[in-house]
């Protein structure tokens, strides 16, 4: 039961904030120990960051500029503080803030589905678990974690019926990563389901504007930086070759299970109890997300699947708990 008194609400929010901070400390610490100081300051982390700033990071990394510009701002700020290892401090500080925002957004998003405070806390605990197993062959990958933020924020804005805010969210998300292109369709699908197969003109206009912004930024980024050499994952070009590589590697399935667990299965089992909006998010995100990444990415790098985990699978699975505790 959510506290009703002002003091109780403040105390409860403090508890949520403490949980978000503790989960963020845990996930950042584990990722830092997995990478090491030299990797951040002298290895691929700083090399990839500088490559984006210099305009030669390759396709698609060069077109994911938001994260590196934010990180560069953090580096410039930290260097004024005269601390030791300013690069590492800046990198880890950005990741820590990202993670705190992710956990707070996830909690608020899960609550908007009618899940109880306890169930939402379980949800962010499950998300933290998945994040601690999503470091395989990865640097800090700030754009991935901004992607989680933008998708959770999109879902939350849709659930509180504030679709106009999706326009600035889309602008930032498009500067961050091309995978943000599904955001306008989350709005359309959710309202289509809620309105019994109809769409309001306002909803259509907002979604159209958001998608136009996405396309415009997508094109401008590629015109601004010009053609880039395509990055070939592990020497396997995107398509059937990479799909075969993903499917036949043991580490693919080990990493997917470590990160996602049985939550996708539990979520599907609870599907009939889901609200219309969550069902809409499922059909917009899950099929295309998994198909595209199977053909175009190294699936064992399971940070790529934290968006569907946070936005769909975790709240979906939590409805099994809600079903067994209908008064919650």
Q: Assess contact for 62 and 56: CB atoms under 8 A.
A: yes
User: Which among 131, 144, 136 has a CA at the least distance from the CA of 60?
Assistant: 144
DSSP structure class, residue 231: P
Distance, CA of 34 to CA of 30 (rounded, Å): 6
Phi, psi angle pair for 42, to nearest 5°: -130, -10
- pLDDT of amino acid 56: 94
Structure tokens at 7: 């003091």
User: pTM here?
Assistant: 0.95
> Across-strand partners of 59?
230
Query: How far is residue 176's CA from residue 172's CA, in Å, rounded to a whole number?
Result: 6
pLDDT of the residue at 200: 80
Give, for all 328 residues of the chain, the pLDDT tens digit.
455 667 767 888 888 999 999 999 999 999 999 999 999 999 899 999 999 999 999 999 999 999 999 999 999 999 999 899 999 999 999 999 999 999 999 999 999 999 999 999 999 999 999 999 999 999 999 999 999 999 999 999 999 999 999 999 999 999 999 999 999 999 999 998 887 777 788 889 999 999 999 999 999 999 999 999 999 988 899 999 999 999 999 999 999 999 999 999 999 999 999 999 999 999 999 999 999 999 999 999 999 999 999 999 999 999 998 766 655 5
Distances (CA, A) of 222 to 18, 64, 208, 259: 41, 10, 21, 33
Q: What's residue 325's pLDDT?
A: 64
């Amino acid at each position: 039961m959510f506290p009703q008194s002002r003091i109780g609400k403040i105390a409860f929010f403090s508890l949520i904030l403490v949980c978000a901070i503790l989960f963020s400390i845990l996930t950042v610490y584990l990722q830092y120990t997995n990478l090491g100081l030299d990797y951040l300051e002298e290895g691929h982390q700083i090399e990839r960051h500088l490559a984006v700033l210099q305009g030669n990071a390759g396709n698609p990394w060069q077109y994911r500029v938001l994260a590196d510009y934010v990180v560069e701002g953090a580096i410039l700020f930290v260097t004024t503080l005269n601390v030791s290892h300013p690069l590492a401090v800046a990198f880890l500080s950005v990741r820590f803030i990202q993670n705190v925002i992710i956990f707070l957004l996830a909690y608020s998003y899960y609550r908007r589905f009618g899940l109880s405070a306890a169930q939402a806390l379980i949800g962010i605990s499950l998300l933290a678990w998945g994040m601690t197993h999503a470091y395989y062959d990865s640097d800090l990958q700030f754009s991935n974690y901004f992607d989680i933020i933008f998708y959770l924020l999109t879902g939350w804005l849709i659930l509180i019926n504030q679709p106009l805010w999706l326009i600035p969210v889309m602008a930032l998300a498009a500067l961050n990563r091309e995978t943000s292109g599904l955001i306008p369709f989350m709005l359309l699908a959710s309202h289509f389901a809620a309105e019994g197969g109809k769409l309001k003109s306002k909803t259509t206009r907002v979604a159209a504007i958001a998608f136009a912004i996405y396309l415009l930024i997508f094109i401008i980024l590629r015109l601004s930086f010009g053609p880039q050499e395509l990055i070939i994952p592990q020497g396997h070009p995107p398509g059937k070759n990479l799909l075969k590589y993903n499917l036949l590697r043991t580490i693919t399935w080990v990493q997917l299970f470590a990160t996602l667990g049985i939550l996708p299965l539990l979520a599907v089992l609870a599907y009939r109890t889901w609200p219309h909006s969550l069902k809409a998010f499922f059909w917009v995100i899950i099929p295309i997300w998994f198909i595209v990444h199977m053909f175009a990415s190294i699936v064992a790098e399971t940070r790529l699947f934290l968006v569907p985990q946070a936005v769909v699978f975790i709240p979906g699975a939590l409805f099994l708990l809600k079903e067994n505790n209908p008064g919650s």
